[in-house]
Amino acid sequence: MKAYQDLLADVLSNGVEKGDRTGTGTLSVFGRQFRHNLEDGFPLITTKKVHFKGIINELLWFLSGDTNTKWLKEHGVSIWDEWATDTGDLGPIYGKQWTQWPTADGKTINQIDYVINTLKTNPNSRRILFHGWNVEYLPDEKLTPQQNVLEGKMALPPCHLLYQFYVANNKLSAHLLIRSSDLMLGWPYNCASLAALTTMLAQQTSLGLGEIVITMSDAHIYLNHLEQVKLQLTREPKPLPKLILKRKPDSIYDYTFEDFELVDYDPHPHISAPVAI
């Protein structure tokens, strides 16, 4: 995807050097947007190999409402390990807020159910959205992720925090707001995860595929990723793969990794880069 390469080049050229929570430092720009028509292929970047299985299993984990790393580790995904407690707990992060948003009366709201029901019954609504920014559970930046979990807070606040959906011409489009976007490591996951989720929702609601749009507030490259980004920019993007859902489960919560088939993914080699903790 040339648009992603252009975004990396933009930050290298125009980014301002800033400090950050991790102490690593970034080149940062404020306010950028990416869009992609899903009929043109599945937006899994090709200028480096990306772990498709990890992306899908993380998404299924979010949708399950789970907030412990045990299931992820059993399915070969370790991307959350650094922020978890010794028992794998991450506090009330994404999945909890998506499917079990707590209310004052002690009940919970499943925002995913709301989205699906509204897509089916009122697709013209401008309120088809869900988000994870529950202020009550945001972590204290002065504490470690593990300390925050022990205090009943999230290990990390949501980066990809608001998803909104739009139906036109019987096609489903999605818009994602990312408040803090790590362009080298996080963004490729977020983009492909949004596309997979949109594809699943479209199947569940008998809609075609439209666009995905990603708005990034703070879009940044960590200073210890600069050489990796420059290497990636020397590579020519290849044709995008296609995503096939091999069956239609009874609900969005019944998908497994085996239901997803990635066709014709031929990326450049993987580029290793350290994660800022």
- Binding-site annotation, residues: 21, 51, 126-127, 179-182, 190, 220-222, 276
Q: What is the dihedral of CA 231, 237, 242, 243, to 10 degrees?
A: 30
Distances (CA, A) of 200 to 18, 27, 178: 38, 34, 21
Catalytic residue status for 159: yes
Chain-centre distance for alpha carbon 187: 7
Does an H or E element contain 18, and which? strand 16-18
Plot region of 2 (φ>0 → left; ψ -120 to 50 → alpha; else → beta): alpha
Among 44, 159, 183, 200, the one annotated catalytic: 159
Which residues are annotated binding-site positions for dUMP? 21, 126-127, 179-182, 190, 220-222
Catalytic residue annotation: 159
